[in-house]
A = this chain, B = another copy of it.
Amino acid sequence: MPRVVVHVMPKPEILDPQGKAVAGALPRLGFEGIASVRQGKRFELEVEGAVTDEVLATIREAAATLLSNPVIEDVVQVEVEGEAAH
């Protein structure tokens, strides 16, 4: 079954406590050289049938409304696995 991957990240201006916590832990655990960390979400959607433009449009809309919170998050990428990013 073809798969579409949706990448969601917190908006740059939004405080990212999870990312900050990870960034703070890294040097304590000996991982140096990382200036900052931001944590977002990755969704893998298995699609019934071919990934047509219409299906991609549906997924983009679902990404903007259900998979992300448009107030604090951006959909940064929607890619059909195995194809170049759209």
Contacts and interface: CB of A to CB of B under 8 A. Distances in A.
Interface of A: 1, 7-9, 19, 22, 25-26, 29, 31-49, 55, 58-59, 61-62, 65-67
Nearest to A7: B42
B34 A46 contact: yes
Nearest to A23: B45
Complex copy number for this chain: 2
Most chain B CB inside 10 Å of its own CB: which residue of A1, A38, A65: A38
23 contacts: A8-B42, A9-B42, A9-B44, A22-B43, A25-B66, A26-B62, A29-B62, A31-B58, A31-B62, A32-B58, A33-B48, A33-B49, A34-B46, A34-B48, A34-B62, A35-B47, A36-B45, A36-B46, A39-B43, A40-B42, A40-B43, A41-B41, A41-B42
